[in-house]
Amino acid sequence: MTGRGIDQALPCPGDPALYQPNGRNAQDYFKLAENANGSIPRPVHFPYIWGDAIEILQKNAPDLRIINLETGITKSNNFMPGKAIHYKMHPGNIFCLKAAEIDVCTLANNHLLDWGYEGLMETLDNLKKVKIKYAGAGCSRNEAELPATWNVAGKGRVIVFSFCCVTSGVPLSWDAEKTKPGVNLLRDLSHETVQHIMEKVKTIKQQDDIVIASIHWGSNWGYDITSEQKRFAHDLIDAAGVDIIHGHSSHHPRPIEIYKNKLIIYGAGDLINDYEGLKVRKKSKIRFKKFMKLWKLWKLNGHKKFRSDLVLMYFVSVAPSTGKLENLKIIPMQIKKFRLNYPSSGDIEWLRNRMNKVYKNFNLQLELKPALSPGNTNYFLQLQQH
């Protein structure tokens, strides 16, 4: 989420005006982060927000870098009425995505149309200008359903479909139609929906292609995976020809499942956001009206047990011929001063122990592995199946 407070830190900050009940100025999020962890030089350079993740990306050299982009890239001030939160990033700051060499953005989520259809169209145009591929949104239903296709030399293609569900807060009215722009919304997780996705996959998948279904679904907090989500994920693999499921919406990592040797990430968690420093003071020290304005901020980052400052990067290796998982390397990072930093060993152990409690139901465990980096000793997490 490179909008709002992050946008204000970057070289081309947009209009900071907000239209949400718990804040009227995007610069307030920047100030909260500084109050929490110290001053942030402004403007920051485009690579700044990725911090130590740049070194990790260079070291691991993935064939394809995919993110769920949860913000519009627009100058529009025509905010979508009826929504509590609106994210946007100034088009001049799109180069923060290029700084991390992002290849594909999935766009089917509950913030892409925060600034209306004008903001949606501008976002698509801006991504095209910098040659970043996208999926999950478009000028029509046909375009919104199109996947992003990436050729990997000597290995095959990666096909990325992007979907969203109403359970993640996407209004039904955002669904793209025959001649109306919008997102690729799944109105339900029925067998009929699986059949529709299967037909889309069949029209494009060739030998040695890897198909990814990137799905924005579920609530922001909690570790529970519904039986409907689990059944749908399994059906996508069994019937629709999907090889990897990349789920997101939760602000913290949710469980992972290995199903028939294929990877299901039910909730990847955030990687970049502007929630740093969000907390509410004691009620006794604050006027009631002001307390009510900040209450939603407390809800957002007040779930301290989830440690939403600790985030994960997922490096997935699969066999091109089968799509079966060969290796999963998970690298923890910590958001601090609006950048990704190497966490302490204690924070990594806390995250490992926390995730292992929720992975237990899927017979998986994370094991801590040392990794040497120039001038810095850090760790990564290796997924083990039991």
Judged against a pLDDT cut of 50, whether residue 58 lies above it is answered with: yes
- List the domains of the chain with CATH numbers: 5-385 (3.60.21.10)
**Position 225 pLDDT exceeds 70:** yes
Mean pLDDT of 88-95: 98
d(C-alpha 324, C-alpha 318), whole Å: 5
What the block records as the tokens of 335 is 């958001």
Residue 230 clears pLDDT 80, i.e. is over it: yes
The confidence score (pLDDT) of residue 294 equals 43
Query: Which residue has better confidence, 284 or 163?
Result: 163
| Residue 376 burial (CB count, 10 A) | 10
Report yes or no: 17 and 24 within 8 Å, Cβ to Cβ. yes
Adjacent-strand bridge partners of 135: 106
Mean pLDDT to the nearest integer, 132-137: 98
Peptide bond preceding 332 in cis form (omega within 30 of 0) = no
CA 17 to chain centroid, in Å, comes to 24
CA angle 92, 65, 34 (to 5 degrees): 50
> Regarding predicted confidence, which is higher, 146 or 288?
146
Between CA 197 and CA 180 the distance in angstroms is 20
Q: What are phi and psi of 262, to 5 degrees?
A: -125, 150
Read off the pLDDT of residues 163-184 as tens digits, 9 standing for 90 and up: 999 999 999 999 999 999 999 9
pLDDT band at 303 (very low <50, low <70, confident <90, very high): low
Q: Which residue has the higher pLDDT, 224 or 119?
A: 119
Q: What is the pTM of this model?
A: 0.91
**How is residue 349 written in tokens?**
């152990």
Lowest mean pLDDT among 176-190, 236-250, 267-281, 337-351: 267-281
DSSP 177: B
Whole-angstrom distance between the N-terminal and C-terminal Cα of the chain? 34
| CB atoms inside a 10 Å sphere around CB 151 | 11
